[in-house]
Chains A and B, each alone.
Chain A
Amino acid sequence: MKRNTLVLTAVLFILSTFAWAGWANYEYRKQAADRMLASVAQGELVLDPESGTAQYLSPLKGKPAPPFVLEDLNGKKVSLASYKGKAVLINFWATWCAPCKIETPWIIELRKQYASQGFEVIGISADDLNRDDPKELAKDKMEIAQSAQKLHIDYPVLIDGATLDKPYGGLDELPTSFFVNRKGLVVAAQLGLTSKDDIESNIKKALGN
């Protein structure tokens, strides 16, 4: 009886050790995967010796734009995949971002100018959404809609952009833009307010001009 108890205790110990080791291993792999994902997408600002200006080097350049499906301001699901075959500017902005408000009119003009060539813009709001409180959530959405209206944005505005933080490389600074060509590859990225000419130059790259 005593021997059986000892064996049973030992077996339980082994099983709990395996469970613990499995959990620890899962946690470790999860953290490692998160770190890898973050490091893959994280870009950096470097000085361009030719222009003397800071250039945003995104590791996404030359790679397929990470897919996403987000809601627009009317609650309709919009996917990046639905823009297949078009050149797309993915512009991350926020209601509280003053530099974003300077570049938005440029983006609106450039969209009109290049729309006939198959160019589209997706604005993605990085504003926090209070999903725990329906009233606050409705207020958050209304503020984004009002801000977009005030800026005369006439392209789709998607919400909850913070969920794309990892695949698109941090997004801890706004505005941030990614230029995607007709094949779905990121051909250029911009961090911060630059100039209308810079944006136009990257649109041309996306269009393959």
Chain B
Amino acid sequence: MRRGLVSIQMAAIVAFALSPIFTHAQVDDSARLKGSAVEYLFPEQVTVPASKATDVTLHFRVAAGYHINSHTPREEFLIPTTFSIPDGAGVRLDKAVYPAGTDFTLPLDPTNKLSVYNNEFTIQARIVADAGSHLVEGKLHFQACDKSVCLPPKTIPVAFNVTGK
């Protein structure tokens, strides 16, 4: 019996001594977080007629100094900005209308005009919602650059509540 108690005590000591390692591994996350070049602004919630196509204007902001390709970039291989809503959310994306891009030229290539979005821009999403309340987790896919560097393509969440009445 005594040997059993000693074993239990040893186990408790070992567990206590090692517990800081695990806690440290969980909380110490020094991975560098870089903000997204594009931020979804609003709306956070909309009310629309159920089962009827309705336009919702989604507002976005591009970080200062950066631009993203428009939905219709002029050059081959450049990645267009696209908005999507995954299936099964109770809300269907019927159509997305994108703004025309703004002309932008890189200082070292002034003859080549890129079609981009910068500052704030909107996307007109025509949605059809089932009756009830739905959390839409849309996605904006884009690729951002500044005047000299480009960041890898990225997808950010575009979350808003839709109530179909």
- A31 and B25 in contact (CB under 8 A), knowing A174-B149, A194-B148? yes
Q: Is A175 an interface residue (CB 8 A)?
A: yes
Q: Is A37 an interface residue (CB 8 A)?
A: no
Using CB atoms and an 8 Å cutoff, list the residues of chain A in contact with chain B. 3, 6-7, 10-11, 13-14, 17-18, 20-21, 24-25, 27-28, 31, 35, 38, 42, 94-100, 102, 126, 128, 143, 146-147, 150, 172-175, 191-195
- A147 and B148 in contact (CB under 8 A), knowing A7-B4, A10-B8, A11-B7? no
Given contacts A7-B4, A99-B145, A99-B148, 6 further A-B contacts (CB under 8 A): A3-B4, A10-B7, A10-B8, A17-B14, A21-B15, A96-B79
Q: Which residue on B lies nearest to A28, using beta carbons?
A: B25
A-binding segment of B16-24, B94-102, B117-125 = B16-24
CB distance from B83 to the nearest CB of A (A): 18
* CA A24 to CA B20, docked complex, whole Å: 10
A-binding segment of B38-46, B106-114, B157-165 = B106-114
- Among A126, A146, A192, the most chain B Cβ lie within 10 Å of the Cβ of A192
A18 — which chain B residues lie within 8 A by C-beta? Answer: 14
Q: Which residue on B lies nearest to A174, using beta carbons?
A: B150
- A13 and B108 in contact (CB under 8 A), knowing A98-B150, A172-B151? no
Q: Please tell me the number of chain B residues within 8 Å of chain A, measured between CB atoms.
A: 38
* CB < 8 Å neighbour of A14 from B14, B34, B153: B14
Q: Is B135 an interface residue (CB 8 A)?
A: no
Q: Is B64 an interface residue (CB 8 A)?
A: no
A128 touches B153 (CB 8 A): yes
A172 — which chain B residues lie within 8 A by C-beta? Answer: 34, 151-152
A-binding segment of B51-59, B70-78, B84-92, B126-134 = B70-78
A173 touches B149 (CB 8 A): yes
Using CB atoms and an 8 Å cutoff, list the residues of chain B in contact with chain A. 1, 3-4, 7-8, 10-11, 14-15, 18, 21-22, 24-25, 28-32, 34, 75-79, 106, 108-109, 114, 143, 145, 147-153
B76 touches A98 (CB 8 A): no
A99 touches B149 (CB 8 A): yes
* CA A143 to CA B77, docked complex, whole Å: 8
- A102 and B15 in contact (CB under 8 A), knowing A28-B24, A31-B25? no
CB distance from B117 to the nearest CB of A (A): 14
8 A-B pairs closest in CB distance: A192-B148, A10-B7, A28-B25, A192-B149, A24-B22, A21-B18, A173-B149, A95-B77
B106 touches A99 (CB 8 A): yes
- A193 and B149 in contact (CB under 8 A), knowing A10-B8, A96-B77, A96-B143? yes
B106 — which chain A residues lie within 8 A by C-beta? Answer: 98-99, 102, 193
